Amino acid sequence: MPGRNFLFVPGPTNVPERILRAMNRAMEDHRSSAFPELATGVLRDLPQVFKTTAGQAFLFPATGTGGWEAALVNTLSPGDRLIAPRYGQFSHLWIDLAQRHGLRVDIIDVEWGEGAPSDRIGEILSQDKQHEIKGILIVHNETATGVTSDVAAVRGAIDAAQHPAMLYVDGVSSIGSIDFRMDEWKVDLAITGSQKGLMLPAGLGIVCASPKALAAREHAKCPRVFFDFGDMIRANATGYFPYTPSIPMLYGLRESLDIMSEEGLDNIFARHHRLAEGVRAAVRAWGLKLCAKAPKWYSDTVSAIMVPEGTNGADVIDVAFRRYNLALGAGLARMAGKLFRIGHLGDLNELMLLGAIAGAEMAMRDVGMQVTPGVGVAAAAEHYRSTAAPLAPRAAAGQSPDAQQQPPGAKPSSPPAPPRAAVRA
């Protein structure tokens, strides 16, 4: 199909050209004397994305699922008790992984479309006088439902109960896109993958561990080999890995960290929020609802859009892909067919997103949904136009060619008129 594929699943996300170029290189010896420069630089800078100075970053050639596993097996023993709210497919899968490692998980089932119930978590912890509960598992951004939970509120509940349980947070679809504060929220284990906010291909499972988590390692009895923090700490200390690392991914990560530091984390979060607000304006204009039940749960990285009774969300996704070369996210597990998802994270801008909104709108009409042509695009476009940042004055290089062709000695013409002030209709 001519033209480009519009990739709007909530991960993997678009990989910027700069990262693709950085990754496109010949293999090299990962035991050479030159290698540590790359590895140590990346491991030094990565914690900034988690907003931690106390935490230690671990890079596994894996995915987010590997990060989940590494966080648990390095800090817990079989039979240890955890609590975990379940409000979507990813919180469900993490619980399943914990159970398969012999951990006892008290599941708090929450309606899909809501997030972590910090009050309930606080109550359970207050009742646990013996401090049997060793950890709380929270999925910060439930990618299946487009719900962001309030991790600070969960931390508040843990502290109010004066409970020593560790806080495990899945930030796979939030870290690097939605504000995440590992140190401030006293997160003990924070997990992400490379293929979302970091704008890389899938292939890295990334964990940041607090000093408390690193200390818990000493007594944790869950078997571990590939994901052992101890082996990693020893090898990383000299700038190496305990096994063959993915060298293109490390070069890609180096570039990703540089790109993120150039834009600035807070600007990245603001961009994601603004882009997400445009998508939400489109959803309202279509007369549709998000799976997220209330604005406080709205995710700035993914919108899960409910389709009406009688429409199969999978048909919207299929038509969008086959007819318009647009990849939308599917409804997962109990949400299969009930919704489609627009991922809006990573290397994105307004017009890219308007393309996705237009394609979704066309596909919805193609499958027979009653959507007025253009309303979603118009609503999002107006949001982007009316919230655009002020334009900087044009540089002198933007002068008209006439000005440059004046005869020698002629007085320079007046500078070009300043651009229209910021459009804030």
Q: In the set 11, 47, 201, 248, which binds ligand PLP (CB under 6 A)?
A: 11
Contact string 14-53 vs ligand PLP (x = CB under 6 A)? ----------------------------------------
Alpha-carbon distance 7 to 68, whole Å? 26
Q: Which region, judged by CB under 6 A, interacts with ligand PLP, from 110-118, 167-175, 321-329, 364-372? A: 167-175
Whether 119 contacts 157, CB under 8 Å: yes
Which residue number has the CB closest to ligand PLP? 64
**Residue 145 lies near ligand PLP (rule: CB under 6 A):** no
Enumerate residues 6+ apart whose C-beta is below 8 A from 22. Answer: 251, 252, 254, 255
Whose Cβ is closer to ligand PLP: residue 158's or residue 332's? 332
Q: Which region, judged by CB under 6 A, interacts with ligand PLP, from 59-67, 146-154, 330-338, 354-362? A: 59-67
Whose Cβ is closer to ligand PLP: residue 11's or residue 113's? 11
**Least distance from C-beta 280 to ligand PLP, angstroms?**
20
**Residue 327 lies near ligand PLP (rule: CB under 6 A):** no
**Least distance from C-beta 44 to ligand PLP, angstroms?**
24
Q: What are phi and psi of 348, to 5 degrees?
A: -135, 150
Q: In the set 139, 290, 356, 379, which binds ligand PLP (CB under 6 A)?
A: 139
Whether 366 contacts 323, CB under 8 Å: yes
**Residue 64 lies near ligand PLP (rule: CB under 6 A):** yes
Whose Cβ is closer to ligand PLP: residue 90's or residue 286's? 90
What are 116's two structure tokens?
């972590």
**Residue 8 lies near ligand PLP (rule: CB under 6 A):** no
Residue 327 has a CB neighbour count (10 Å cut-off) of 18
Whether 192 contacts 213, CB under 8 Å: no
**Least distance from C-beta 302 to ligand PLP, angstroms?**
8
Q: In the set 97, 108, 202, 270, which binds ligand PLP (CB under 6 A)?
A: 202
Cα distances (Å, whole numbers) of residue 277 to 176, 330, 378, 421 = 18, 21, 13, 23
Find the binding residues for ligand PLP in span 89-108 (CB under 6 A): 90
Q: In the set 80, 114, 170, 315, which binds ligand PLP (CB under 6 A)?
A: 170
Whose Cβ is closer to ligand PLP: residue 56's or residue 173's? 173
Alpha-carbon torsion 327, 4, 196, 282, what sign? negative
Cα distances (Å, whole numbers) of residue 222 to 99, 171, 180, 245 = 12, 23, 28, 24
Whether 102 contacts 134, CB under 8 Å: no
Whose Cβ is closer to ligand PLP: residue 35's or residue 58's? 58
Q: How many positions of this chain bind ligand PLP (CB under 6 A)?
A: 13
Whose Cβ is closer to ligand PLP: residue 67's or residue 313's? 67
Q: Where are the alpha helices (DSSP H) in 52-209?
A: 64-73, 89-100, 118-127, 151-160
Whether 291 contacts 341, CB under 8 Å: no
- Which residues lie across from 401 on neighbouring strands? none
Alpha-carbon distance 46 to 56, whole Å? 9
Q: In the set 13, 52, 56, 63, which binds ligand PLP (CB under 6 A)?
A: 63
**Residue 265 lies near ligand PLP (rule: CB under 6 A):** no
Enumerate residues 6+ apart whose C-beta is below 8 A from 46. Answer: 57, 59, 206, 208, 253, 257
**Least distance from C-beta 365 to ligand PLP, angstroms?**
29
Whose Cβ is closer to ligand PLP: residue 280's or residue 341's? 341
**Residue 301 lies near ligand PLP (rule: CB under 6 A):** no
- Which residues lie across from 8 on neighbouring strands? 328
Q: In the set 52, 56, 75, 143, which binds ligand PLP (CB under 6 A)?
A: 143
Query: Strand, helix or coil at 341?
Result: strand
Instruction: Report DSSP state, residue 114.
Output: B
**Residue 193 lies near ligand PLP (rule: CB under 6 A):** yes
Q: Where does this chain bind ligand PLP (CB under 6 A)?
A: 11, 63-65, 90, 139, 141, 143, 170, 172-173, 193, 202
